[in-house]
Structure 1
Amino acid sequence: MRQITEVLRLAGQGLSCRQIGQSVGISASTVQGYLKRAQAAGVSWPLPEALDAGALEERLFVRSADEYRPGRPEPEWLEVHRERTQGKHVTLQLLWLEYRQACPDGWGYTQFCVHYRRWLGRQDVVMRLEYPAGERLFVDFCGDTLPITDPETGEVWQAQVFVSALGASGYLYVEATGSQDLASWLGAHVHALQFYGAAPRILVPDNVKAGVTKACWYDPELNPSYLELARHYSLAVLPARPYHPRDKAAVEAAVQVAERWVLAPLRHHRFFSLGEANVAIAEQRERVNHHRFRGQDLSRRALFDKLERQALQPLPSTPYEFAAWKPAKVNIDYHVEFAEHYYSVPHRLAHEAVEVRATLHVVEIFHRGRRVASHVREYGRKRFLTDREHMPAAHRAHLEWTPSKLVAWGTTVGPAVAELVETILNTRPHPEHGYRACLGLMRLVRRYGAERVSAACQRALATGSISYTGVDAILKHGLDRVPVVVEAPPKVVPIQHANLRGQAYYQQL
């Protein structure tokens, strides 16, 4: 506008169009065009004091007799903007043609574009960002925290504040969490998507440690649980590039709004739980979302309803359930440790590297991306959880034996064998500790025959050699063929002397 003002000033001094153009640095034809517009609008030098730069532009370029008449219909600019940003290959020229078909007496293409850009420039900063409706959700934690008082101890701890904002409407979600750990980070995402009632196509986090394991311009490494959440909701995760503030301008603006208009009004409140704090946060959040932008009749909620809601994709039937991932190595006993419990995998994977995925209810184990085991998650005292199908054949056979079955087997071989089996099981701290010895007796029967093993067990019982090694030694040395001599216990002769009172003494008492 200063250039046009200078043209009018020099024209008022009587300079020619060529001279004015040389002085201002524009062509003579441009000078002539400005002067024609000024003449048509009834504007001449000196300008009235009330005619500022904006009013001068309005008179010369909008309200000129050739280009504008007050009765011309004005398009619904919000709908024009939605069509332009959401539809593929939709240009302003196409939208103008559709406008002229509906309003033959409407603006020409040039004025249509001028008015659209002027309307767009008056919108809130969120509207000026050129993000298609329903495309992006920006997420981050606030720098400010929210104090929570423990009602029992009076100790004050700081809750973290999660913020998300949709790219086109700026529709805001705010939630207090216990920390910035992975479970809190993903849980806040689930709550935010439930709040919106739909999901965008792209998530844009800052490089929060819970979500981005390794920040990189070209190939950031994401946490496996974060990727799993993205797959569940059919999202792409595009972290903001380090040192590129424009990548996350929307969420930084949302964080600023949350800190100023959600957290600041609650600074004098005293909260005793996260639930209580989130109720108060929700009330402030709704005020912010329904507050109209300065000089506009639109709010974040209104923009969400008109621009974003129909562009978002529907949520899956069930919400994402948080799962922790942990690398592990299979022990020699084909079990994997997680949270002080041991879960079996197929025995062939002993010593292999695997990944453990654990939810609140299930523990799954993956080998080279394929699930090889699944168990109900165990809590409480340390336990081993073993799937019989994961065991080698010999271990399954061992597991099928019970004390009663072992004793019954011994009876089929001979009474002495059954007695020795029962004695072995009863003298161990736990019956299972004697299983291996009993299985060894079975091997001896296959090697030496039932008759020799029965005789060896009889000798072992007589000599107190109650073990597999004792019976094996008897058979190796052929002692089972030697008759067992059972010595009679020596006869005890009562001792008689004067110091013994005898039975008669006690009868006198």
Structure 2
Amino acid sequence: MNKLRQIIRLYCQGVGIKTIHGMIDTSRNTIKKYVRLWHSLGLSQEEFNAKNDGELSVLFCTPVGKSSGSPRMKQLESLLPEICKKLKKKGVTRDMLYKEYLAQHPAGYSRSRFNNTIHIYLRLSRPVMHIEHKAGDKIYIDFAGSKLSVDPQEGTARDVEVFVAILGCSQLTYVEAVESQRKEDLIKACENALHYFGGIPQAIVPDNLRSAVTKGSKYEAVLNDEFACFAEHYGVTVVPARVYKPRDKSLVEGAVKLIYRSIYSRLEGRKFNDLSALNTAILVGLEIHNNKPFSGRSYSRREQFEEIEREMLGALNPLPYQVHKQTMVTVNKTGYVRLGEDIHHYSVPYTYIGKKVKLLYTSTLVKIYYQYTLIACHTRDRTKYQYTTDENHLALQHRFLGEWTPEKFITQATAIHEDVALYISKVLEHKVYPEQAYKSCSGILSFARRVGPQRLTDACRWAEKLGQYNYPVIEEILHKRLDQLPIEQEEPTPAIPSHDNIRGKDYYQ
């Protein structure tokens, strides 16, 4: 505006255009333009001098959107919302849209002006926000687009994923190769990253990959249950980036590009037999990357982390997180559920027979839930086709059967009478199949409640005399009340006198 005031002042003083050009170093065309505008406005020199810079700018400077006054530009601007909407569709290019525009408006703008107008419109409609990263606030995670590989044996190379995490404030970076993007590998890599940083940030910002987010949303995404449990274990919030919004995690996107140059280039041409060897090599390159000074600065990511961000991170949970797997099963009629991965059965309380329950299991434990209530917990057993049983889960009658042992029956019989205990031991000896003997003993001892201990004792004496050892004999004796009859004492066998004609038992030895 100072130059404009000088041009008008000198012109009013009668100085020519060429002389003004030499005095204030402004092109003659620009001077002519300002003089022409001053005449067209019909302002006196006093009126011109009375106006401030802002008013002169409105009157003399060409507005940014001056070209929009053109009917042709107004026509193109009216088409821009629809053109940009079509541009989002897959396979649609600006060249296609320009041809369509020119077919409808033959007198329209050239291709370069058309593309430039779209570019300006998109910049104004989609401004980029500068994000101020606070110390200890967020950690951004993602998987690199380019994979690395391991080659256990010649010709058996396989690709592996590369996990990248970066702290927002200090930009300290963590890189690890993992087998896949499955939730087990993602959670383990995240846990390793937290231990590498030595603390917990306020939030983790992942991409919308299935192992972290079940359903993406612009406002509130639905997290994967296992990843949510991992976050709860370490006391950190998960804030997924918006779908198709890479700028929400631009830091980690940039970190991926940087590791291509700082780490991938160091691994080029090298072969690794396993993930451990590959991650050892990655760690070497990672330390160089983190300790290298920022471009144009005198400090590195590591120095900035130690100075600003380390003390702002929360404390780590001392217990490592164990990844849980889960499956829904139905409790079978015997009161057991089957863990298909191990082909092993686990007991649950018999009242849940026929119910659908959730098995949540780790490498060491199997937890069984019914409607979010823990109903059973067992140590994991990987033995196939076997059963793990908690006696408290069985019905009373089943629990009683499970507790049957010879010692238990003899103890109960001894409490009634020694003769009953002797008879029960003989029953156990004479039955070939143990369970058959247990049922007989249980039935015999039940008579103590029905007819009394004394009658049962006498019945056992009678059965012992008869040499019959089973339940029906005791039942028959008690039914016919034979136990109430005195037991006949056997007469002693008379001794055989010694005689020469009697050979005796020694003769037959």
CA distance in 1, matches of 2:344, 2:39: 86
Aligned residue identity for 2:282:
I
Cα pair 1:20 1:28 within 8 Å, conserved: no
Task: Decide whether aligned partners of structure 1 residues 144 and 443 sit closer, same or farther in structure 2, where only a CA change above 3 A counts.
Answer: farther
Structure 1 residue 218: Cα displacement: 4.2
User: What SS class does the counterpart of residue 333 from structure 1 fall into?
Assistant: coil
Cα deviation digits, residues 289-348 of structure 1 (max 9, x gap) = 223333333433233234432332221233323333333333333333333333333333
Give the C-alpha shift of residue 435 in structure 1: 3.7
Q: Give the structure 1 partner of residue 367 of structure 2.
A: 364
Report the structure number with the largest CA radius of gyration. Answer: 2
Moved more, 407-416 or 216-225: 407-416
Q: Is the 8 A contact 1:363 1:374 kept in 2?
A: yes
The equivalent residue for 2:428 is 421
Output one character per residue of 1:158-185: Cα deviation in whole Å (capped at 9) or x when no partner.
2221111122332211111123222211
Q: How does 1:48-447 map to 2 (within 5 A)?
A: 129-151=131-153, 155-338=156-339, 339-409=342-412, 412=417, 413=420, 415-424=422-431, 427-428=432-433, 431=434, 435-443=438-446, 446-447=449-450
Give the Cα–Cα distance (whole angstroms) in 1 for the partners of residues 335 and 39 of structure 2. Answer: 89
- The answer on whether the counterparts of 2:206 and 2:240 sit within 8 Å (CA) in structure 1 is yes
Change over 3 Å in CA distance of 1:218–1:415 after alignment to 2: same
Taking the aligned partners of 2:36 and 2:396, their CA distance within structure 1 comes to 103
- Supply the AA of the counterpart residue of 2:183: L
SS in 2 for 1:365: strand
Question: How many Å apart are 1:192 and its aligned residue?
Answer: 0.3
Percent identity over the alignment is 30
Q: Is the CA contact 1:176–1:277 (under 8 Å) kept in the aligned structure 2?
A: yes
Rounded to whole Å, the distance in 2 between the matches of 1:135 and 1:177 is 26
Distance 1:191 1:245, change over 3 A: same
What SS does the corresponding residue of 1:240 show, helix, strand or coil? coil
Partner SS for 1:253: helix
Structure 1 residues 272 and 157: alpha-carbon distance in aligned structure 2, compared to 1, 3 A threshold: same
Quick check: 2:424–2:441 contact (8 Å CA) kept in 1?
no
Question: What is the alpha-carbon distance in structure 1 between the residues aligned to residue 457 and residue 25 of structure 2?
Answer: 128
Measure, in 2, the Cα distance between the counterparts of 1:185 and 1:282. Answer: 18
In the superposition, relative to structure 1, how do residues 414 and 434 fare at CA in structure 2: closer, same or farther (>3 Å)? closer
Q: Counterparts of 2:194 and 2:413 in 1: how far apart (Å)?
A: 66
Query: Kindly tell me: are residues 258 and 442 of structure 1, through their superposed partners in 2, closer, same or farther at Cα, counting changes over 3 Å?
Result: farther
CA contact (8 A) 1:336 1:343 kept: yes
In structure 1, what residue type is equivalent to 2:53? S
1:395-418 Cα deviation digits (max 9, x unpaired): 444343322322454574365543
Q: Which residue of 2 aligns with 1:13?
A: 31
- The answer (yes or no) to whether the contact 1:233–1:315 under 8 Å persists in 2 is yes
Relative to structure 1, the CA distance from residue 442 to residue 235 in structure 2 (aligned partners, 3 Å threshold; closer, same or farther) is same
Secondary structure (helix, strand or coil) at the match of 2:166 reads strand
Structure-2 separation of matches of 1:396 and 1:319:
38
Give 1:29 deviation, angstroms.
0.7
Q: Is the CA contact (8 Å cut-off) linking 1:145 and 1:159 kept in structure 2?
A: yes
Q: In 2, are the aligned partners of 1:17 and 1:28 still within 8 Å (CA)?
A: no
Deviates more, 1:187-196 or 1:237-246: 237-246
Q: Does the CA-based 8 Å contact 1:7-1:31 persist in structure 2?
A: no
Deviations 1:270-302 (CA, angstroms, capped at 9, x unpaired): 101211111100011122222333333343323
The residue identity in structure 2 corresponding to 1:297 is S
Structure 1: runs of 5 or more not aligned:
34-126, 484-509
1:9-34 CA-to-partner distances (Å, cap 9, x unmatched) read 579737769948999xxx8614989x
Q: Verify the 8 A CA contact 2:262 2:289 in the aligned structure 1.
A: yes
CA apart distance, 1:239 = 1.7
Question: TM-score, normalised to structure 2's length?
Answer: 0.62
Alignment CA distance shift 1:235-1:478 (3 Å): same
Q: Which amino acid aligns with 2:297?
A: Q
Counterparts of 2:350 and 2:407, CA distance in 1 = 28
CA contact 2:409–2:424 (8 Å) conserved in 1: no
The separation in 1 between residues aligned to 2:215 and 2:329, in whole angstroms, is 21
**Distance (whole Å) between structure 2 residues aligned to residue 434 and residue 133 of structure 1:** 75
> Are the equivalent residues in 2 in contact too, given 1:148–1:159 (CA < 8 A)?
yes
- Relative distance call for 1:155 and 1:15 in structure 2 (3 A) is closer
Deviates more, 1:139-148 or 1:356-365: 356-365
Give the letter for the 1:355 counterpart. Answer: K
Q: Residues 453, 162 of structure 1: CA spacing in aligned structure 2 closer, same or farther, 3 A cutoff?
A: farther
- Label 1:13 to 1:306 Cα distance change in 2 as closer, same or farther (>3 A): farther
Specify whether residues 239 and 18 from structure 1 end up closer, same or farther in structure 2 by C-alpha distance, changes over 3 A only: farther
Distance 2:458 2:293 in 1: 99
Q: Deviations over 1:231-284 (max 9, x none)?
A: 121111122222222223222222232334322431211101211111100011
Corresponding position of 2:456: 450
Q: Distance in 2 between matches of 1:221 and 1:383?
A: 38
> Number of paired residues?
376
Q: Distance between the aligned counterparts of 2:397 and 2:39, measured in 1?
A: 101
Distance 1:459 1:150, change over 3 A: farther
Q: Secondary structure at the match of 2:442?
A: helix
Task: Supply the AA of the counterpart residue of 1:13.
Answer: I
